[in-house]
Structure formats: structure tokens, C-alpha cells
Chain A
Amino acid sequence: MATLRAPGQAGTDQTPGYAGAIGGLPAVGGGGITGARALRRMARAIRSNGKATTGAVLLLIFILIGLFPGLIAHDNPNAEIYKPALGPSAQHLLGTTGLGQDVFAQLIYGARPVLEIAIGAGLGTTIIAMLIGVAAAYLGGVWDGVLNLITDVLLVIPAFPLLIVIASYLHGADTTVMILVVTFVSWSYTARQLRSQALSMRSRDFLEAARVRGERAFYIIVVEILPTMTSLLVASFLTNALYAILFSSGLQFIGLGDPNQISWGTMLYWADQGEALETGQTLWIIMPGLCIVALGAAFALLNYAFDEIGNPALRPVRSMQKAERRQRVKPAR
């Protein structure tokens, strides 16, 4: 894993067996696809793939909830003004917490920080990985050696324990801090992938042509190399967003988030502190967990679908047979 690779073999030697990528990230084939075309192709692919549609719709619902929580929930999520531990009723759809807050309102208002962390850390991780991975591959030599070594070291240091240690010094990580620390511990895997991809590009003719034209390194990286990686970058965003959700809610659950912030992870923390399981307040503990699962599933489904789109060999067999049948029908007409 950690040794330098010859540029020629880099592209073929990706490791799909790594747990960080759900189903492995897609390998991109050709070098000539521009960003805009790839995005159009993705939009079409989302509509045609069942997993992608489900994931996209789920994500959209959560984004709407995160943007306009006040339209859906009418109670103040913080106010401890109700009778504690009520069951579900017309006033309190999901009952109240052991502290007398409305569970439904907490759930709705809790969506925003989770989304912020997922999207923030997803983007942050992808951007840092892109800068480091592509720079290492493009600059080569000593730079590549140093950047690659840093990447490899961070890759094998267990991320979650490191997160715990960092968060424990900070005493209560709010959204911004959470995004920063999650990004810091998780960019390395993507950086290594992007580096392999960039290395496999290095000797392509269109890059040689750009160099001969006298383009600057920055131009070549941004305009020529990055667009060929669009689908890897999208997959990286989706995977890292999912891991940010799992990491941050884990941290919040053990009380290392900001305990005063309304978020699904902190809801679980308070529910666990209030012994919600033993005292029969099951909705208080089940609902935030289910929301984490649903939002995570949205990212995972999208990622899984992009994997199938990028690697046609993984598409379900049945739909392939259907496509064949359709093809066979056509010439007969």
C-alpha cells in the first residue's frame, strides 16, 4: 500500500477492499470527459437509476427540512416547558423528552447541523485530498515523496480514536470545529486515490500537448486534470459526507459535541444520559437514530449508484438482460 508506484501501473492498482469506501469508489475510464458533460451525464444517470433516485429524493427532503425547520415544527426545540416523558399525542407527535422538550421539534431542528457537518466535511475532505493528491502526482520527486508519506501515515492512524483525543481537548465541539477535525482525520484515503488517478494521467497526450503549448502548471491541473476526475471527486464527497455523519454523531453521542446544540447525535447523548431505554421513552432514542440512518442511506445510495454508473460490470444482472431484450426487439421492428 505504502510504496511508491510506477506511473504506468498506478491506475490499475486501486484497492477496492478498503472499508472507507462503500462498495469501492468508481474507477474512471477515459481522460476526455469534460466537467460539464460529466455533470449532465450524472443528472441523466440519477433519473435512470432507482438507487440514485431514492438517494437524491431522501437527501432533498432532509435539505428542505434543514433549510426551513420552522415551517414544519412549531415548538421551540430547546424549551423545557412541557411535562417530561410524555407519549406521542396530537400536541407532541413523538412525545417529549425526559427534560420536557418536544421530540419532534428537536428532530426537525436537529437536521441542519448534521447536514452542515456532512456537506462541510465532505467538501473539505475532497478539496484537501484533491490539492494534496494532485499536487503530489503532478510535482513528483521530493514533493511527491513527502506528501505521499504524510498521506500514508495519516491513513493508518486510526481516525476515530484520534478524533476523540482531539475533541477531548476542545471541550464541546460546535459545527465549525466538528467540520475541521473530521476533515483533518479523513482526507488521506481520498488523497491517495486521487494521486493514483492523477499519476495515471501524467503521460497522456493531451497533458503533453498542454505542456508544449506552454501552459502553467496551475492551468494544467485545474483545466486539464481535474475535470477528468469528476466522478472520483463526486464519489469522494458522498463517501466522506457519510463518514462525517457517522463520526460526528458518534462524537456527539459520547458527549464530545456541543451538548447545548440541538443535533441528532446530542439528542442520543441526552436520551442515553436520561436512561430513555430503561424508562420506556423509546421514541426519544429511536427517532434520532433513524434520521441518522436515513440521511446516511441517502449518501450511500447515491454513492452506490454512481459506482454502478462508473463501473457497468456491477450493474444488476436483471436490468442488463432487460436492456439486451430491448436491443433485440429494436431491429425486428
Chain B
Amino acid sequence: MSFVLRRLGFFLLTLWVALTLNFALPRMMPGNPAQVMIAGHRGVIPPGALKALEAQFGLDNHQNIVLQYLHYLVNMASGNWGVSLTTEPGNSVAHAVLDALPWTLGLVGVTTVLAFILGTGIGIVSAWRRGGRLDSIMPPIFVILTVVPYFFLGLLLILVFGVKLHWLPYFFTYNFTLTPAFNWPFISNVLEHAILPGFTLLITTIGTWILTMRNNMITTLAEDYVRMARAKGLPGWRIMLDYGARNAILPNLTGFAMSLGFVVGGAILIEEVFNYQGLGYLLLQAVDNDDYPLEQALFLLITAAVLVAILLSDVATAILDPRTRGAR
């Protein structure tokens, strides 16, 4: 329990660092980016919102920096993330974020879990049949795939399956002529639009799981307790799963959570390539338009999501590996 509490404390600290980065970066950067942003939007957004922005980025100079900082922290903690400059000028950031959130959650969530399960499975079998056909074909292919930038693979898939073959749609989350409803035409349309971006994300992330699981497995299979299991005459699949995989998967679980940061980063690029209107797409829209409040809120949200995922995997590790519970 104290382990979980300590992790929770650590995550609150990290969240605070992310908040502080958001506060400090625009004030530290050369050329006063916030001033440029506000100058560019004068007259476009309501004067009240403009005033709020000036306060948020410390341009009205009525407050000293410490007060500004405290004010900022209070605002962020109470969900008052400021106004967005782009989506609908003057609209609240929280609103824009909530609209985009489900798309990313669905796309990244499903593909990440799928990649982890498939990759770990292939890694297990590949290490168990060391030197077999799967073992000699898979790792080199996926070593190459880990090197392919997410967005480039996305572009290639668009070229082949979209532009050349016309098999699948490659723009937007669904066909906007349809009205969103809980019926088959709409759902199938959403799924169709998710195939290419999902597939891109899946094959660029699966390689790491195969490779690390295979290598962990090889180390684990050399342990004495595995030899003991063989000596007892246990069936092969039990040795593979209960003795090998269960122990080899532990470092991978930690890796799973850590990798989410990377996956989220890659997903941003994939959403951009496919014009998939999730958080990543929104983030890049914000970047294009110098919409700093929206940008900062998205960065915070992404960080928080990764932290929650890491916390969950910590708990999972503690459940699977009794050693971690006592030692910490």
C-alpha cells in the first residue's frame, strides 16, 4: 500500500513539473512567443478572452511572477484551462479537448493493447522455438519496422491501399455526410476509417514487444527452475507459459507503460497523416495556429494519461510479482 502511495506522490510531482514547464516555457523562450500569439489574434477573439490570455501568459504585468504562478496553478487545478483561439475562437479549451478525446482513446488504446498481446505472444513462441522458422523470420522484419517513422509508414499505406487500390478511406474519423448514430452504417464507417491508422500504429509498435519479450524469454528459459520443470516432465506449453513467460513478462509490463509515452507521440503523427481528428490532430492544429492555451492543455492531458497508465502497470506488476511487494 505504501508503495502505491509513494508512486502516487511521484506522479503528482511529475504533473506539477509538467504544469511548471507549461508556465515557464513561453516566458523563457526568445522572441516572446505569447506576445506574438496575442498580437495575431487581436480583433478575432472577444476582448474579455484577450484579457484573460494576457493574464495567463503574464503580459499585463500587473502581477509579479510568483503571484502569476500561483494563480496559474489554481486555474489549472480547477479545470479552468483558458480559451482556445482556433477551434471556435473564444471557446473553452476543455470543450475542444473533450470532443477529440474519444477518437484517440479508441484508436491508441485498442491498438496498443493489441500490439502488446500479439507482440508478447509472438515473442514467447519465437524464443520457445529458438532458431525455428518464426524465430528467424520475425525479429529481423520487426527490427526494420521499429526504424520506420510512424508517419512514413502511414504515408506508404495511404499510397498503396488508399490512392492506388482504393480499398480503404484514409481521411477523417468518419464520412461527414453520415449523422453520428448508434447504427451499423455509422459504426462500420468509423471502423473502416480506423483500419489504416490503427494498422500503422500496430505494426510500428509491435516490433519492440516481440524483440524484448523474446530476449527476456531466452534469459528466463536458461534458469534452473525451467530445467527443474523439464526434469519433472511437465508438458511443454506449461513450461513455456507458467515458468518462462510469466517471469519473462514482468520487465515487459513496466516497458508497456513506459512505451505509452512513445506511442502517444507516434499517434500524434499518425493522426496528422490520416487527418484523424483526435487529440494529436488537435495538438498540431493548435501548433499551426499558435494556440498556446490549447497546446498546453493537451500536453498536460497526454502527460496525465501516461502517468495513469504507468500507475496501472505498477499495480499489475505488484500483483504478478510478489518480490516487488516486499522489497519496496
Contact = CB atoms under 8 A, between A and B. Distances in A.
B302 A161 contact: yes
Interface string A264-297: 0000100010000110001001100100110011
Contacts of B3: 3
Interface string A191-203: 0000000000000
A142 interface: no
Contact of B215 (A159, A161, A314): A314
Contact of A156 (B14, B148, B205, B269): B14
Contact of B269 (A152, A168, A253): A253
B90 interface: no
Interface stretch (B59-67, B193-201, B226-234, B282-290): B282-290
Given A153-B13, A314-B218, A286 B156 contact: yes
Interface stretch (B47-55, B93-101, B173-181, B256-264): B256-264
A24 interface: yes
Contacts of B287: 164, 168, 254, 256
Which of the four size classes fits the interface of chain A? Answer: 35 or more
Interface in B269-293: 269, 272-273, 283-284, 287-288, 290, 292
B222 A159 contact: no
A257 interface: no
A158 B302 contact: yes
Contacts of A277: 155, 158-159, 163
Q: Count chain B CB atoms within 10 A of each CB in A152, A156, A286, A296 and give the residue with the most.
A: A156
B109 interface: no
A35 interface: no
A158 B155 contact: no
Interface in A143-179: 149, 152-153, 155-166, 168-171
B306 A156 contact: yes
A23 interface: yes
B212 to A, nearest CB: 5
A15 interface: yes
Interface in B123-166: 130-131, 143-144, 146-152, 155-156, 158-159, 163
Interface in A305-328: 313-314, 316-318
Given A16-B216, A17-B252, A17-B255, A22 B143 contact: yes
Contacts of B131: 316-318
Nearest to B22: A165
Interface stretch (B24-32, B72-80, B81-89): B24-32
A300 interface: yes
Main secondary structure on B side of the interface with A: helix
Contacts of A15: 251, 254-255
Given A23-B215, A153-B14, A158-B264, A254 B147 contact: no
Contacts of A162: 21, 299
Contacts of B283: 161, 164
Contact of A292 (B146, B149, B219, B261): B149
A295 to B, nearest CB: 9
A288 to B, nearest CB: 9
A296 B143 CA distance: 10
B237 interface: no
B10 A152 contact: yes
A255 B163 contact: no
Interface stretch (A37-45, A66-74, A212-220, A242-250): A242-250
Contacts of B158: 277
Contacts of B246: none
28 contacts: A1-B258, A1-B314, A15-B251, A15-B255, A17-B216, A20-B258, A23-B211, A23-B212, A156-B258, A157-B306, A159-B261, A160-B264, A161-B264, A164-B268, A164-B299, A165-B22, A250-B149, A250-B269, A254-B269, A254-B272, A255-B288, A282-B159, A285-B159, A289-B155, A293-B144, A296-B147, A301-B143, A318-B131
